[in-house]
Amino acid sequence: MHLNHLAIIMDGNRRWAVSNNLDVYEGHRKGAENLWSIVQEINEFNIKYLTLFGFSTENWKRSQKEVFYLLSLLEQFLDDANLKIKKYNYKIRFIGDLLVFDQNIQEKISVIKELTIENTGLVITLALNYGGRYDIVNAANQFFKFNKNKSDPMQMKEADFKEFTYNKEIPDPDLLIRTGGEIRISNFLLWDLAYTELIFLPEMWPDFSKILLEKCILEYSKRNRKYGE
Q: Write out pLDDT tens, residues 144-163.
A: 888 777 766 667 788 789 99
Strands 91-95 and 123-130: parallel
Determine which of 81-85, 86-90, 225-229 has the lowest per-residue pLDDT on average. 225-229
Identify the pLDDT of residue 154. 67
Three-state DSSP class for residue 194: coil
Which entry of 43, 59, 82, 187 is annotated as an active-site residue?
Answer: 59
Is residue 11 part of the annotated active site? The answer reads yes
Domain boundaries, the chain: 5-222
- The upper half-sphere exposure of residue 38, i.e. CA atoms within 13 Å in the direction of its Cβ, equals 25
Is residue 149 part of the annotated active site? The answer reads no
Which entry of 11, 135, 172, 174 is annotated as an active-site residue?
Answer: 11
Strands 91-95 and 175-178: unpaired
Determine which of 27-31, 190-194, 212-216 has the lowest per-residue pLDDT on average. 27-31
Q: 5, 48 in Cβ contact below 8 A?
A: yes
Q: How many residues does the chain have?
A: 229
- Decide if pLDDT at 77 tops 90: no
Q: Considering the entire predicted model, what is its pTM?
A: 0.92
CATH architecture of 5-222: 3-Layer(aba) Sandwich (3.40)
Could you tell me how far CA 219 lies from the centroid of its own chain? 21
Q: 220, 174 in Cβ contact below 8 A?
A: yes
Task: Report the pLDDT averaged over residues 108-122.
Answer: 92
Residue 121: name the closest of 81, 85, 169 by CA.
85
Q: 43, 122 in Cβ contact below 8 A?
A: yes
Measure Cα distances from 90 to 81, 109, 123, 176 in Å: 10, 14, 6, 20
Q: Mean pLDDT across the chain, nearest whole number?
A: 90
